[in-house]
Amino acid sequence: MKNYCLALVFDHAFEHVLLMNRKKEPYTGKLNGIGGKIEERETPLEAINREYYEETNFEPIHLNFLLTCTFPDEHLHVFYGSIEKQEIKVKENHEGIYDWYKIEESFFDVNNDELAGGGNLPYFIRFALDTKNGK
């Protein structure tokens, strides 16, 4: 069983989300959150904090657990959190280019081909916003 982690990082107003335009597979050319593989003997929270630092070069922030999705041969542990929008300096690395994206109705469309995850990312964004708002 493979284990992965994903973080959705929002600005404090929850009007923008920090996403990466991927430069490599999987999901080349699509927008995705921060994340990756969970290493052996690592908890999902340790893994997402490591991935967040490795991918953005920023110290980890407080991330809230959102959900775990179980697929036939993998688990995906999803987290969310918020920071001041100006704290992130857009960074490019070997995986992609990070930028803030204004949350629009298209971010909730599971058929939006610009978003990674085969329809899962819109669901995660909506669920994070609903959870934050107590729904």
The model's pLDDT over 93-117, given as tens digits with 9 standing for 90+, comes to 888 999 899 999 999 999 999 999 9
Tell me the whole-structure pTM to 2 decimals.
Answer: 0.92
Q: Which fold has domain 2-132?
A: Nucleoside Triphosphate Pyrophosphohydrolase (3.90.79)
The helix (H) or strand (E) run that includes residue 35 is strand 34-37
Q: How would DSSP label each residue in 70-111?
A: EETTEEEEEEEEEE-GGGPPP-B-SSEEEEEEE--GGGG-TT
For residue 88, the model assigns a pLDDT of 66
